[in-house]
Amino acid sequence: MQPLVAPSLLSANFGNLDADIEVINNSDADWFHVDIMDGVFVPNLSIGFPVLKAIKKKARKPLDVHLMMVEPGQYIRRFMEAGASVLTVHYEAVSHLHSVVRDIRSLGIKAGVSLNPHTPVTFLEEILPDLDLVLLMTVNPGFGGQSFIESSYNKIRKLRAMIHETGSQALIEVDGGVDLNNAPLLVKAGVDVLVAGNTVFSSEDPAETIRLLKNPPGTPA
């Protein structure tokens, strides 16, 4: 099955974001992946509401917003108003996950929960039926351009089985170190959405790279 592709703007040129947004607008990409970092949950800072709103004005595809911040609950409405269509919070950063997920969905947008590489997928057992998306971190969060953690395939397969067993509608998204070599294997293991930053924006032809991520060579179109 063809995956959705969500290029991560973290690797875009922040000196000329409009140009990179336009490349994604005119490509086969499905979503824009936007990373929000607070310098506490992860050892890095990225962007906040003003830049997110500016992206929203130019983007012609849904914004998939990944919150790498502690206790994001009080900001949910503001992220929806800033343009998020999918809003993902980290399991490790939220005390009252059930309530935050309910708040996100009550605003009419998709709710995702992300797991760091060390967090078992079984921790999602109770909440899985309430989720639209599970984002598996396949690197330690905070930076683009890191190497994919190979043990992630097992997690993907376990989560795929849990989703099947519980009848959950959640999509499986992977984020970190996704490239043209591992993309077909990830899809085979059960991934629905591929995030890719460095692979897309450091390539000579980002639109062609996105096309290849969606249609790995050798698979029927």
What is the set of active-site residues?
35, 175
The number of angstroms, rounded, from the C-alpha of 112 to the middle of its chain's C-alpha atoms is 9
> What interhelical angle do 17-25 and 49-58 show, nearest 10?
40
Residue 73 in tokens: 């609950």
Give min distance, CB of 74 to ligand DX5, in A. 21
Q: Does 141 bind ligand DX5 (CB under 6 A)?
A: yes
Residue 197 binding: pick among ligand DX5, Zn ion, none (C-beta 5-8 Å cut-off by kind): ligand DX5
Q: Does 139 bind ligand DX5 (CB under 6 A)?
A: yes
Q: Does 152 bind ligand DX5 (CB under 6 A)?
A: no
Comparing CB distances to ligand DX5, the nearer of 42 and 101 is 42
Residues 6+ apart with CB under 8 A from 35: 8, 9, 10, 46, 47, 66, 68
Q: Does 177 bind ligand DX5 (CB under 6 A)?
A: yes
Kind and range of the H or E element at 5? strand 4-7
Answer for which of 8, 27, 182, 209 binds ligand DX5 (CB under 6 A) is 8
- Listed ranges 19-27, 116-124, 136-144, 186-194: which one lies at the site for ligand DX5 (CB under 6 A): 136-144
Question: From the CB of residue 58, how many other CB atoms can be counted at a distance below 10 Å?
Answer: 15
Answer for which of 27, 152, 182, 198 binds ligand DX5 (CB under 6 A) is 198
CA distance linking residue 103 with residue 166, whole number of Å = 22
On whether the CB atoms of residues 134 and 162 are closer than 8 A, the answer is: no
Q: Does 176 bind ligand DX5 (CB under 6 A)?
A: yes
Angle at 28 between CA 116 and CA 117, to 5 degrees: 10
Answer for which of 76, 175, 182, 189 binds ligand DX5 (CB under 6 A) is 175
Q: Does 63 bind ligand DX5 (CB under 6 A)?
A: no
Residue 49 binding: pick among ligand DX5, Zn ion, none (C-beta 5-8 Å cut-off by kind): none
CA distance linking residue 108 with residue 142, whole number of Å = 28
Give min distance, CB of 15 to Zn ion, in A. 21
Comparing CB distances to Zn ion, the nearer of 86 and 128 is 86
The number of angstroms, rounded, from the C-alpha of 125 to the middle of its chain's C-alpha atoms is 20
CA distance linking residue 14 with residue 12, whole number of Å = 6
Comparing CB distances to ligand DX5, the nearer of 46 and 168 is 46
- Binding residues vs ligand DX5 (CB under 6 A): 8, 10-11, 33, 35, 66, 139, 141-146, 175-178, 195-199
